[in-house]
């Protein structure tokens, strides 16, 4: 009787060169949607010999994944990818992965971590970690009007940005919002300064807005009476007169920040979610301290972007 068999080793995944080559071709064509490529161009740019490229392109064309122009003999993406793309869009989204990421972000920063989603003309909390007790924080839903929703539209096209600006509660919010969007794209995160009205608008449970400073609070907006109800419309009108989004963060300067947020991109390039940390202790922090905190939020957002194979759009509106 032979020696007993040893423990079964786990199967080692073998390389799949055909799959790798197919992905390389699809990524080439997807990265240049307005171009068509010849067999020679595909072979050269994907590092394939012509025989391999010819067989691969023929197979993908037969299945409708690629189209071959009969006259030009050039290849482009095919109609079957529309169906495949729609099925992929209905698959996992960043929301499916957000819970553990928020838990780690809240633990690392000691702050209230939240995920926000924009739908139609509102922004709402869809997940939360490390926040205060009490009523359900997911009930928070705000009008998507400047400055609320800035990170969602910063990478959008001009019509989307213009629609967002048109919802501004006051004309005072439009100019600062236009100037801030390109800076948000450059920084990759947003820092919102604290004001009594902003905290009353974005914290949970809702509370009355305390009296702003005699000069009108942050940004010079009019004070809100202590008896004012926590009405999102009234509070939004107040914050629309306040310059709350920091356009350029100076590491040596001091800021009284309310929250720091970063975008999560979908595979389409749109901002699917934003992650934020709130609950910063009252008082100033240096720009360097805020930048370090922002790095934590950006890393968490990048983790979700990677999980759904997302990316920032290659082109954005000119506004």
Q: For 14-23, what is each residue's pLDDT tens digit? A: 556 778 889 9
pLDDT of residue 17: 72
CA dist 204 → 174, 200, 217, 234 (Å) = 27, 8, 21, 17
Query: 4 lies in a domain?
Result: no
pLDDT in tens, 127-138: 999 977 655 667
Do 49 and 129 have their domain in common? Answer: no
* 68 beta partners: 75
CB 60 within 8 A of CB 96: no
DSSP for 24-51? HHHHHHHT-TT--B-HHHHHHHHT--HH
**Do the beta carbons of residue 269 and residue 233 sit within 8 Å?**
no
pLDDT of residue 16: 64
Please give the angle made by the CA atoms of 152, 184 and 299, to the nearest 5 degrees: 80
Q: Count the domains in the chain.
A: 2
pLDDT at 88 over 70: no
Summarize pLDDT for 253-304 with one digit per residue, the tens. 999 999 999 999 998 899 999 999 998 888 899 999 999 999 999 999 999 9
Three-state secondary structure call for residue 290: helix
Please name the residues in contact with 254: beta carbons below 8 A apart, sequence gap of 6 or more: 284, 285, 286, 287
119/143 Cα distance (integer angstroms): 10
Q: Give the domain range for residue 188.
A: 92-307
> Which of 90, 60, 91 lies closest to 75, judged by CA?
60
pLDDT band with cut points at 50, 70 and 90 for residue 232: confident
Q: Give the end of a domain, one of 88, 107, 142.
A: 88
The residue among 73, 88, 103 that closes a domain is 88
Least confident of 47-51, 68-72, 264-268: 68-72
Q: Which has more confidence, 17 or 112?
A: 112
Q: Can you give the CATH number for the domain in which 36 is found?
A: 1.10.10.10
Residue that is last in its domain, among 51, 73, 88: 88
| Domain-located, residue 5 | no
Same domain? For 206 and 288 the reply is yes
- Please tell me the predicted confidence (pLDDT) of residue 34: 84
Q: What is the mean pLDDT of residues 95-103?
A: 94
Query: Quick one: what percent of the chain has pLDDT higher than 70?
Result: 82
Q: Is 80 exceeded by the pLDDT of residue 239?
A: yes
Let me know whether 51 and 157 are in one domain.
no
Question: Which class for 166: exposed (0-12), middle (13-18), buried (19 or more C-beta within 10 A)?
Answer: exposed
């Amino acid at each position: 009787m032979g020696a007993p068999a040893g423990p079964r080793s786990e199967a080692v995944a073998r390389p799949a060169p055909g799959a790798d080559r197919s992905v390389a071709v699809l990524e080439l064509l997807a990265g240049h949607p307005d171009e068509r490529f010849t067999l020679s161009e595909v072979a050269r740019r994907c590092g394939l010999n012509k025989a391999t490229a010819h067989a691969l392109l023929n197979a993908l064309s037969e299945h409708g994944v690629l189209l071959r122009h009969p006259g030009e003999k050039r290849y482009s993406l095919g109609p079957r990818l529309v169906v495949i793309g729609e099925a992929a869009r209905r698959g996992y989204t960043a929301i499916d992965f957000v819970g553990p990421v928020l838990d780690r972000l809240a633990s690392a920063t000691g702050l209230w971590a939240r995920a926000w989603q924009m739908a139609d003309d509102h922004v709402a909390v869809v997940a939360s970690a490390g926040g205060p007790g009490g009523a359900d924080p997911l009930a928070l839903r705000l009008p998507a009007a400047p400055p609320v929703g800035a990170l969602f539209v910063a990478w959008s096209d001009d019509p989307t940005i213009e629609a967002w600006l048109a919802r501004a509660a006051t004309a005072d919010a439009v100019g600062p919002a236009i100037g801030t969007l390109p800076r948000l794209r450059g920084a990759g995160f947003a820092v919102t300064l604290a004001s009594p009205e902003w905290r009353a608008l974005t914290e949970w449970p809702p509370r009355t807005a305390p009296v702003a400073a005699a000069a009108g609070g942050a940004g010079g907006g009019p004070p809100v009476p202590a008896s004012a109800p926590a009405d999102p419309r009234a509070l939004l009108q107040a914050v629309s007169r306040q310059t709350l989004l920091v356009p350029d963060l100076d590491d040596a300067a001091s800021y009284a920040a309310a929250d720091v947020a970063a975008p999560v991109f979908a595979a389409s390039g749109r901002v699917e979610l934003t992650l934020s940390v709130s609950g910063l202790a009252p008082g100033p922090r240096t720009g360097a301290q805020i930048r370090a905190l922002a790095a934590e939020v950006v890393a968490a957002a990048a983790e979700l972007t990677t999980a759904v194979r997302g990316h920032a759009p290659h082109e954005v509106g000119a506004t």
